Amino acid sequence: MSKKVIVIGGGIIGLCSAYFLQKEGHEVTVIDKSGLDSGASYVNAGYLSPSHIIPLSAPGVVKKGLKWMLSPSSPFYVKPRMDLEFLKWAWAFNASCNSKHVERTAPVIRDITILSQRLFEDIIKSEKLNAHYKKKGLIMLCQTQKMLEEEIKILKLAQSLGLEAQEYSIRDIESIEPNVKINSIGGTYYKCDHHSTPHEFMTQLKTHLKDVGVTFRSNDEVVDFKFSDRKITNIITTKFNVAADEFVLASGSWTAKLVKKMGLKLLLQAGKGYRIDSKQKTKITVPAILAEAKVAVTPMNGFTRFAGTMEIAGINHNINKVRVEAISRAVKQYYPNIEPTEQEKSNARCGLRPVSPDGLPYIGKSSKFCNLTIAAGHAMMGWSMGTATGLFVAEIISDKKPSLDLKPFHPERQF
């Protein structure tokens, strides 16, 4: 049965939800507070990465985080503050940082990311999108023996889960990147990973959705909700009062703020990430992560993107030049002949990634409102999990059996 569905949020999760919902025959409207041309879905590294099987809440992260709090240029920074929601999130995050949690979640992350890769490619092919998409793998570049040993441990876990990956010497790395000088002692190579140019996919998917009848309302913020008998009946925005049968909350880092208006609670913090785009001829052809610096390098269509940091300091889009400089410095350390220009650094942008305490997204129905589906909290993996999440949303609303077991993603799971 066709339903009128409102999707709140126009990032990768919202657009993919709209895509699969309209495929099911639903009447879809996407509402977003932005101009639908900025945010984390546009400034991410563009990875579709089954290799990222270790959640952010991993053993040792809290210890590293406490150490990194003393450095303004650290890869991972949590700003301490006397805020109850933040303290609850921090407590749950700490509780998730253990090896048993990694064992439970790694197969879950593998399954959703592999499905997302297939769906991403299917969308490009079936809708004839002219969007950049490559299967070049991903190199984890290490400069120290300690880091190499840590990456090899992750590699072995990935191999045990059936992912195509292997250890690479510096000579192996040079064989797939022969035209780039690399300062590394070796690393690991994940052939299973793919990459893309985010703004191309986002722009063309929006155009396709408009062509098939999806309605878009940009620069329009949801400010309140109307309820009746365990149902949301209307949303009130800065411009409209809109009724619908079903509502999808895919608002990224703003999701926690919106669920509060419904009397719901969701542990979620905004994690800011930065990107520097360079149009220099870097000759980099294979994506890489600079392991010690936690900086991602992606050869996109017409430019190279350097992205990194996880800064949990509330919702804001302030550009911290110290962190931008740290990304630039890391690039030079690993690629001695490459360095972002002052202009490229001044054009750096940031995006806010919604971080759950356990590193898994929230995907599923609310028990309080039978017509509310939540799809948020993907942290750095929104691009890697976006298409599968959109499919799950459509399956939930269409009363179909989900393609994967969604229990690990339940919005009301206990931490």
Q: pLDDT tens, 84-133?
A: 898 999 899 889 989 999 999 999 999 999 999 999 999 999 999 999 99
Contact 210, 320 (CB under 8 A): no
Residue 413: partners with Cβ closer than 8 Å, 6 or more residues away: 358, 407
Q: pLDDT tens, 340-351?
A: 999 999 999 999
Burial of 243 (0-12, 13-18, 19+ CB in 10 A): exposed
Confidence of residue 254 (pLDDT cuts 50, 70, 90): very high
> What are the C-alpha distances in Å from 71 to residues 33, 58, 172, 309?
33, 20, 34, 12
pLDDT at residue 72 greater than cutoff 80: no
Q: pLDDT tens, 131-165?
A: 999 999 999 999 999 999 999 999 999 999 999 99
Order of strands, edge to edge, in the sheet holding 47-48? Answer: 47-48, 194-196, 133-134
Tokens, residue 367:
């028990």
Contact 220, 31 (CB under 8 A): yes
Q: Greatest CA span in the chain, whole angstroms?
A: 65
Looking at the DSSP bridge assignments, the partners of residue 353 are: 271
Nearest to 36 by CA among 301, 217, 214: 217
pLDDT at residue 412 greater than cutoff 80: yes
pLDDT at residue 69 greater than cutoff 90: no
Q: Which residue spans within 281-410 are E strands per DSSP? A: 288-290, 295-300, 303-312, 349-355, 362-365, 372-376
Residue 175: partners with Cβ closer than 8 Å, 6 or more residues away: none
Contact 327, 308 (CB under 8 A): yes
* DSSP type of residue 347: T
CA 21 to chain centre: 21
Nearest to 344 by CA among 282, 272, 294: 282
Q: pLDDT tens, 353-366?
A: 999 999 999 999 99
- Coil, helix or strand for 119? helix
pLDDT at residue 377, as a whole number: 97
Confidence of residue 270 (pLDDT cuts 50, 70, 90): very high
> What are the C-alpha distances in Å from 119 to residues 16, 48, 389, 403?
10, 11, 10, 12
Q: Which domains does the chain have, with CATH numbers?
A: 4-409 (3.50.50.60)
Nearest to 389 by CA among 354, 362, 359: 362
Alpha-carbon span 415 to 413, nearest angstrom: 7
pLDDT at residue 341, as a whole number: 98
Tokens, residue 86:
């933040």
